[in-house]
Amino acid sequence: MVVLVTGSSGQLGQSLQKIAANHPQIIFHFYSSSELDITDLAQCETVFSAVKPSYCINAAAYTAVDKAESEPAKAFAVNVTGPENLAKVCREFGTLLIHISTDFVFDGNADKPYTEEDLPNPTGVYGKTKLEGEKAIAAIWDKHFIVRTSWVYSDFGNNFRKTMLRLASEKTSLSVVNDQFGTPTNALDLAEALITMIRSGKNTFGIYNFSNEGQCSWYDFANKIFEINKIKIDLQPIPTTHYPTPAKRPYFSVLDKSKIKKTFGIEISNWETSLKNK
């Protein structure tokens, strides 16, 4: 079993590298964006020709949500053209494609967790390009899994957990929004779920949701991070209106994980439990 991973220097890519040794039956090939530029179709074909992967996990993405508002062309290249190219080469080489998407494809106006059947309605450039990337894949290659996730954190890259820990070392007080709700996702849990999907050998293609279980606000998330790390800090809850950003965030983006749990027998930890196990 040969698995090619794009975006290997990101949070998910590095998490997959961390656990790869636990799965000796899989031969992993990791490519960072400097080693494989998914926006370059010829480069994709060259790499696929050499590796001949059974699966491709596309962990490459333009994820700078606010920056995307002023760099739409860059976001489009990585989040739409890139997946389109991968779908084309996956079709050419018979490779099953696992593409990582986001809760930002939704507008956040729901009052219950989003299922895979709910209608997307992204409000910003990042979410719009991620949705266009999903559509590009679906139009080109039917043997694909699209996995939507949310609030990803890890020991790698840039993420909310690392930012909170850094800011706590620099400041005595912090303000965090308490009226946006979602679910943190430990990148290691996501990585394990993807490997479980691959090892199952199932061809139940389509869209799947994955995050940890439960829900919280960003304020709740920050509070738990400080509690676990025994950090004393003056943490103040604030409304979104007090922290304006270029891109509008979904107010509610909790994902329903019933489909992925039932299809692949995946057991998912509560977000607080997974955060403690970091």
The encoded tokens of residue 89 equal 């080469």
How many Å is the Cα radius of gyration of the chain? 18
* Rounded distance between C-alpha atoms, residue 233 and residue 162, angstroms: 15
In this structure, how many other beta carbons lie within 10 angstroms of the beta carbon of residue 1? Answer: 13
Sign for the CA dihedral angle at 270, 65, 209, 199 comes to negative
Catalytic residue among 55, 62, 114, 126: 126
* Rounded distance between C-alpha atoms, residue 214 and residue 82, angstroms: 32
Q: Are 6 and 94 in contact (CB under 8 A)?
A: no
Q: What's the helix, strand, coil split of the chain in %, to 5?
A: 45, 20, 40
Note if 126 is an active site residue: yes
Residues forming a β-bridge with 234: 173
**Active centre residues (catalytic):** 126
